[in-house]
Each structure stands twice: as structure tokens, then as C-alpha cells.
Amino acid sequence: MCPPGESHTLDDGTSITLAGEVGLLGRNIVVEGNTYENFAEDSFGGRIVVSKLTQDGVEYVGSAQLDGVELRNMGQEGFTDLDDPRYSLAYVDLGTVEADSSYVKRSSFNLNYNVALGLLGTTAMQVEDNVVYYALDSGEWRVLLFTGTTTCRSRGLL
């Protein structure tokens, strides 16, 4: 018997490789969308939006540093307006992010009713070693695993 990840040869001579990707979903810090009687049928979870605001001539720029956080039951299906993204976590119009002011590291997105993470008008942000498990994308459920480091450009969607 060959261990996983190595080639196996079938009786008919066909060679296949069996392997699986494993990602830890559970984290000590959990941000969970509120559940109610029909929330699964409504596909309507929580969301976090990090953006900027100008008030009385003063610009306030948001930031969020997530490291080892699980986002569960997040995102809202059917909303695709980029001015009001209903992703689980969205960084919107932050421009070029200063080093370590905002990042998403070693976190998990578990059961998302829209895109798990959206970077819109936001550049040079660190996104590394995250797991996305069940994200609803164009009406289809997707299971994704991300490892390594990614510095996202102006329009990144996971």
C-alpha cells in the first residue's frame, strides 16, 4: 500500500495520485453571524466591512488585523454591488495599505454565503495561510485552501 501523495498503479495499468488537502477550521477567536430560524434558507450571514469615511473634512481610514480568527456563517448571498459588498470580510477603498496596518493571516472562513474575502480598491495587503471552507460563489458552493503569502492587488476576491 502506497501512502497518500504517491502514485498508485491500478490493475488496468492506470497511474493515479491520491492526496488530500487538510485545513484547520477551528480557531480560539470566532466571529459568527447571528443564526435565526430561516437563516440558512435566506443565505444571510454577518459581514465585516473595513473602509474609510470623510466627515467634517476629516478622513478616517479603517484598519483590521485578523490573525487566527474563524469567521463562521458570514456573507450575504445575492448582493453583488461593489459599492456595498456583502462578503464575509471586505476591505474597501483603503488604497495602498501601510505595512502591518491591515492583514488576514492564519484565519478560516467557514460557511460563507458570498465571497469570503474581498479587497476592493485596496492594495499591498498581506493575506497568508488562510482556509476557506464552503463559500457560495455564483450559486455554487466552493471549498478552497490557501497557503503561503499573497500580497493582493487592487481587486482580489477569495
Three-state DSSP string of 85-121: CCCCEEEEEEEECCCCCCEEECCEEEEECCCCEEEEE
Q: Report pLDDT digits (tens) over 17-67.
A: 766 666 667 788 999 998 888 877 888 889 999 999 999 999 999 999 999
On average, the pLDDT of the chain sits at 81
Mean pLDDT of 69-90: 86
* Residue 135 confidence (pLDDT) above 50: yes
**Maximum separation of any 2 CA atoms in the chain, in Å:** 74
- Residue 158: how many CB atoms within 10 A of its CB? 23
Side-chain-facing half-sphere of 113: CA atoms under 13 Å: 21
Grid coordinates representing 80 are 453583488
Q: Could you list the beta-strand ranges (E) of the chain.
A: 7-9, 15-17, 29-32, 48-50, 52-55, 58-61, 65-67, 69-74, 89-96, 103-105, 108-112, 117-123, 125-128, 131-137, 140-145, 149-152, 155-157
The secondary structure of residue 83, as a DSSP letter, is: T
Whole-number percent of the chain with pLDDT over 90: 32
As beta bridge partners, residue 132 has 109, 144
Element (H, E) at 42: helix 39-42
